[in-house]
Amino acid sequence: METNNARLTQLLAFYQEDPTDAFTIYALATEYLKLDLAESRKYYELLLADHPNYVGTYYHAAKLYDELGLKDKAEETYQKGLKISRQEGNMHAFSELQQAYNKFRGLDYEDED
């Protein structure tokens, strides 16, 4: 891992100041996607546990689980994200999750004319 990543260093400082800030945790999870998938997963799982209504998490966490070969966790995360985004009235997130979930399940209809 590259420790001189200025963005990561700044995010870790923000996290030290307030380890409960959902946006900082999300930013760390996203930044770690490029550097360390295990660390990324740790922060996404922290968000899922402590900030279940932070709907942006579900899309990325499910894709990460899929990439790591954790198909059941990916499916469960997509389904929970769809439920939460609908409850929150966030139809944009719901639509993105639905498309990603359909693709994950092999139900991607984009190729049809």
Domain range summary for the chain, segments of one domain joined by +:
6-104
**pTM for this entry:** 0.88
Distances in Å between the alpha carbon of 65 and those of 14, 16, 18, 55, 80?
Answer: 26, 26, 27, 16, 14
Give the pLDDT of residue 1: 46
Is the pLDDT reported for residue 52 higher than 90?
yes
Calpha distance 68→74 (Å, rounded): 9
Give the pLDDT of residue 4: 53
- The 10s digit of each residue's pLDDT in 18-44 is 999 999 999 999 999 999 999 999 999
Give the pLDDT of residue 113: 45
The CATH classification number of 6-104 equals 1.25.40.10
Give the pLDDT of residue 110: 58
Give the pLDDT of residue 107: 87
Calpha distance 15→31 (Å, rounded): 13
- The 10s digit of each residue's pLDDT in 77-111 is 999 999 999 999 999 999 999 999 999 999 866 55
